[in-house]
Amino acid sequence: STNDLLARLIAVLASVVLALAGWNYWALVGGAIALPLVTCIGAWTVCRWVPGPPRRDARTIPMIAFAMNTYGRFIASYLTWNLDNLLVGWRFGPAPLGFYKKAYDLFVMPVNQLSSPLTAVAVSSLSRLAGDPVQYRRYYLRALSILAFVGMGLATVLTLIGRDVILLLLGPRWTESGRIFTFFAPAIGVMLLYYTNNWIHLSIGRADRCFRWGVVDITVAASFFLAGLRWGPVGMAIAWVTSLWVLTIPGLSYAGRPVGLRIASVIEATWKYIVAGAVAGVAAAAVRETPNVAAALASIGVAGRIAIVSLLVGALYLSAVILLHRGCAPIRQVAAILRDMLPLPRLPRSVVASSNQPSAISIQQ
């Protein structure tokens, strides 16, 4: 939203100003404080509703229960996302933790950058369709298909260029982070798909089911983390990847049960992208490792290798997607979303009022 973008801009400017004023690392603290403060002020300014004094009302009990269950899920997710760091630091010390953390940060970056805006749009749109299960399932599956298209492509590209990305951004002293990241990267796409279970739970008002699945999530993830700890940071990365692949199908099946979402429909909407990513990744890796190509790539800079390998993987992935779908429909869907995101002239109010279907992700078949 505009408020979020403005708050982030002001927080960054606050950090820069404080740093120039000589506040050193406290400049980062100032920016971290400024972000929620400006967001809160902006929200109160934009939203004209002012709460009145509290009073007893039986209708608030479901709202409080919804909030508590949602908060419980957030706590469970927070523990899941930080338990691995705690275990690596405890068992192996600060240096391996530093390498692991940098690889992990790159691993979760696509989810962090995409999840907040997509969740806000998807939960709002799905909530409006909660009374129409057919349209609800159609919208969700189309959104899941587009996420699979983007996520599996990202996973394939980053698996092959991850080492060079970390080398370019952090330098040669962080090559171990690049090695760890190659074990993380194959799960980027499935992570994007897995966390859409929250969309379903929240949009149909079943935060209680969301919280219960959060308990399952942390239990399974913690079990894999403990099993992988003996193999060091690489073992922890493999544990993360394995837990995500193991949890995705049961998680989406459990979330979709109240709306009649069949797991066969989920697989049908996503399997072609998974296969396309695997085929493109194997083919690109084979081409990259041929002696002549490997020698040519070694002779150019890191940025050049990233660009060439990315183009190769992208071309192979898109070709595989087109072949498996027997057409360019997925590419047209993403292009339509990008068009929706571009600034357009404001429509007359009568036209806006006549549109009552979600537009960010097409639900037409």
- pLDDT band at 362, cuts 50/70/90? very low
Over range 105-112, report the average pLDDT.
Answer: 86
Q: Which residues contact 139 (CB under 8 A, 6 or more apart)?
A: 125, 126, 129, 358, 361, 363
Over range 175-182, report the average pLDDT.
Answer: 93
Q: Give dist(CA 108, CA 102) in Å, integer.
A: 10
Q: Give dist(CA 292, CA 294) in Å, integer.
A: 6
The upper half-sphere exposure of residue 337, i.e. CA atoms within 13 Å in the direction of its Cβ, equals 19
Residue 71 has a pLDDT of: 92
Rounded-to-10 torsion of CA 302, 305, 309, 310:
50
Length of the chain in residues, anyone? 365
Residue 263 has a pLDDT of: 94
Residue 331 has a pLDDT of: 80
Q: Give dist(CA 233, CA 107) in Å, integer.
A: 14
Q: Give dist(CA 325, CA 346) in Å, integer.
A: 35
For 212-259, the pLDDT digits (tens) are 999 999 999 999 999 999 999 999 999 999 999 999 999 999 999 999
Residue 312 has a pLDDT of: 94
For 72-93, the pLDDT digits (tens) are 999 999 999 999 999 999 999 9
Q: Which residues contact 81 (CB under 8 A, 6 or more apart)?
A: 108
Residue 58 has a pLDDT of: 76
- pLDDT band at 138, cuts 50/70/90? very high
Average pLDDT, rounded, for the chain: 87
pTM of the prediction? Answer: 0.78
- pLDDT band at 361, cuts 50/70/90? very low
Over range 4-21, report the average pLDDT.
Answer: 90
Q: Give dist(CA 49, CA 47) in Å, integer.
A: 6
The residue ranges of every structural domain in the chain are: 1-47, 62-344
The upper half-sphere exposure of residue 75, i.e. CA atoms within 13 Å in the direction of its Cβ, equals 9
Give CA 69 to chain center in angstroms.
22
Query: Percentage of the chain with pLDDT > 90?
Result: 61
